[in-house]
Amino acid sequence: TVYGITFVVLAPENSIVDRLKDSIKNFDSVLDYRQKTALRTEFDRISQVKEKTGCKLEGIYAINPITKAKVPVYLADFVLNNYGTGAVMAVPCHDQRDYEFAQEFNIPMIQVIEGDCSKSAVEKYDYLALNSKLMNSAEFSGMPVKEAKEKITQMVEKLGYGERKVNYKMQDWSFNRQRYWGEPFPIVFCPKCGVVALNEKDLPLVLPETDDYLPNAKGDSPLSKIDSFVHCKCPKCGGDARRETDTMPNWAGSSWYWLRYIDPHNDKALADYEKLKYWGEADVYLGGTEHITRHVLYAFFWQNFLYEIGAVPSPNPFKRKLGSGLILDSEGKKMSKSSVNGVSPLEVIEKYGADATRLHVHFLAGYEDNSIWTYNGIDGIVNFLDRVWKLQDMIKGDEVSKEHEIELNALLKKVEDDYENVKLNTAISAFMIFIKKIREDGWITKEEFKAFLVALNPLAPHITSELYEIIFKGDILSESFPEYDASKTEKDEIEIPVQVCGKVKGRVFVAKGLSQTEVIEIIKQTGKLSIDFDNLKKVIYVPNKIINFIV
């Protein structure tokens, strides 16, 4: 698709940008964009669903070596500096990400492969499936894609403009950080036989006991200082040999340990196969998004190896993966010991309490989003918990009331969905809305209070446990999560605003699902709004939302 290049995109961190500093006319804007990009995780940057952002390098252009066309250069956070060269050619008609970027920044598009580009890019899986041909590609126009790809590659290599290369997104598995508690390699080095694996009867190779867990002066593994471990006999010839003293990084053990937890005392297999069928795939993997191309990737490597040798029934270690965002410091930087910019949770807990700290952290942002630490808003969380505590003095009646059943069922449905999708910030918001309603009414029944406490318990375990014990004389953990009635989560009657020429003149209660004619008739019957129905130019009605009279 080289003939379809209409712009070039660089990773914001690319060193080329610094070398071109004096020629970039908007370098202040470039620096500002770089700082904003630094707040995003690698996983977030390459997400296909986020809004496309970028910054044009004013005064800088790239030359297409094949067509000699001059194209603009942009910075964009979806390009990673550690992948390939940190610079990509953009062909918007045949890459959806480039297509959306080009639309956002009004960049021209050149279609070079047959297909419909009117609403989206014609990507690889589209044009290969249709056996499409090239167009607008000089002498290669009319040639099938597969054939043209090889011929254009040969031309580029012949002209010296590039060469074939495969790029991998996975990150290296670091072995350079040697600890005592890594898994030892079951191999020895023999002067006669070379590198020899231990016999199966000698497995597993167990770490020796020691009181010294520090590496030696050269940074070698702590095992290198334990002579009784290092010096051994060769399994093959019986002569003197030396063990490998490096250990695997802790990701090795953490790539499969849950499988052994299923059946830890089994001396015949990794775990009972039937138990693996039931428990083998973890329902949810929770971890930092930076693990996607490291730990998660290697967990799949281990799982697939075990699957191929028949040790496990599934090639997938996890059913679902969720990456947690980072809490950054006030300047948007990652907190770390070396930067001395961390915030101690103990200090926050000491001042505000554990429940308030938990709720505040969850309320800052969604689970998978980064957030900047701030104390702003934590007083509101404390006030919310104070209102929860005072609910015990507002109890009136036992069973769920008609007045509150819609709000309670809607709350339970919302919270259950949010817990399932780890949208804890919006779950907290739902609790706040419910308690506002209760305070307006001035009372809550015993069963409503119980359901409220049990639903809130995962977020605020301490205050809810104490209130439950006071009112219900038991342990809240013995309760099942309250079920909601799906038929009672929405009101049959709704309130819609009535506008005249775009300005709200009043509101009216109507049954859900009414037609425009029915709503107008109800408004007429109320007689509270002075609308000249005989001289209407137009009526705009959005069912269950709003009605606007244009006079």
3-state secondary structure 166-185: CCCCCCCCCCCCCCCCCCEC
Whether the Cβ atoms of residue 313 and residue 276 lie closer than 8 Å to each other: yes
**Lowest mean pLDDT: which of 117-126, 169-178, 197-206, 226-235?**
169-178
- Alpha helices (runs of H) in 54-135, residue ranges in sequence order: 96-104, 124-129
Tell me the average pLDDT of the chain. 89
Whether the Cβ atoms of residue 101 and residue 90 lie closer than 8 Å to each other: yes
Alpha carbon distance 229, 416 (integer Å): 54
Q: What are phi and psi of 297, to 5 degrees?
A: -60, -45
Better-scored residue on pLDDT, 491 or 208: 208
Q: In the prediction, which pLDDT does 128 show?
A: 67
Whether the Cβ atoms of residue 325 and residue 368 lie closer than 8 Å to each other: yes
Beta-ladder partners of 318 = 282
pLDDT tens-digit map of 518-543: 888 888 877 777 888 888 889 999 98
> 371-372 and 327-328: which strand pairing?
parallel
Q: Which of 385, 327, 392, 376 is nearest to 356 (CA)?
A: 385
Alpha carbon distance 432, 428 (integer Å): 6
Alpha carbon distance 255, 301 (integer Å): 9
Beta-ladder partners of 231 = 242
Alpha carbon distance 410, 419 (integer Å): 14
Amino acid identity at 56:
K
pLDDT tens-digit map of 254-272: 888 899 999 999 999 999 9
268 membership: H or E segment, kind and range: none
Beta carbons within 10 angstroms of residue 70's beta carbon: 9
Query: 172: pLDDT confidence band, cut at 50, 70 and 90?
Result: low
pLDDT tens-digit map of 29-74: 999 998 888 777 665 666 554 578 899 999 999 999 999 999 999 9
Contacts of 315 (CB under 8 A, 6+ apart): 300, 303, 304, 307
The whole-number average pLDDT for the span 214-227 is 83
Q: In the prediction, which pLDDT does 314 show?
A: 93
- Tell me the pTM: 0.57
Query: 544: pLDDT confidence band, cut at 50, 70 and 90?
Result: confident
Domain ranges of the chain: 2-159, 187-243, 253-324, 330-490, 493-550
DSSP 311: S
Q: In the prediction, which pLDDT does 85 show?
A: 85
Task: Please give the CATH architecture assigned to the domain spanning 330-490.
Answer: Orthogonal Bundle (1.10)
CA dihedral 151, 154, 156, 162 (to 10 degrees): 130
Q: In the prediction, which pLDDT does 37 show?
A: 84
Whether the Cβ atoms of residue 410 and residue 490 lie closer than 8 Å to each other: yes
CA dihedral 497, 501, 503, 506 (to 10 degrees): -40
pLDDT tens-digit map of 421-455: 899 999 999 999 999 999 999 999 999 999 999 99
Whether the Cβ atoms of residue 494 and residue 546 lie closer than 8 Å to each other: no
Whether the Cβ atoms of residue 181 and residue 222 lie closer than 8 Å to each other: no
For every residue of 188-209, DSSP letters joined together read EEETTTEEEEPPGGGPSPPPPP
Alpha-carbon 29 to chain mean position: 28
Q: Which two tokens stand for residue 357?
A: 């700290």
Beta-ladder partners of 499 = 504, 548
pLDDT tens-digit map of 97-120: 899 899 999 999 999 998 888 888
Alpha carbon distance 543, 548 (integer Å): 11
| Class level of CATH domain 2-159 | alpha beta
Alpha carbon distance 48, 95 (integer Å): 12
CA separation, residue 313 to residues 78, 252, 504 (Å):
36, 20, 62
For every residue of 316-357, DSSP letters joined together read -SBS-EEEEPPEE-TTSPBP-TTTT----HHHHHHHH-HHHH
3-class secondary structure, 75: strand
Query: 124: pLDDT confidence band, cut at 50, 70 and 90?
Result: confident
> 194-197 and 187-190: which strand pairing?
antiparallel
Alpha carbon distance 316, 333 (integer Å): 34
Alpha carbon distance 142, 148 (integer Å): 9
340: left (phi over 0), alpha (psi -120 to 50) or beta: left
Q: In the prediction, which pLDDT does 244 show?
A: 92
Q: Which two tokens stand for residue 78?
A: 């979806």
| Class level of CATH domain 493-550 | alpha beta
**Lowest mean pLDDT: which of 75-84, 190-199, 288-297, 312-321?**
288-297
Q: In the prediction, which pLDDT does 60 show?
A: 96
pLDDT tens-digit map of 494-524: 788 999 888 888 888 887 788 898 888 888 8
Q: Which two tokens stand for residue 105?
A: 């920044």
Tell me what percent of the residues of the chain surpass a pLDDT of 90: 58
For every residue of 464-511, DSSP letters joined together read HHHHHHHHHSS-GGGSPPPP--GGGSS-SEEEEEEEETTEEEEEEEEE
Q: Which of 53, 45, 38, 77 is nearest to 332 (CA)?
A: 38
Q: In the prediction, which pLDDT does 49 show?
A: 46
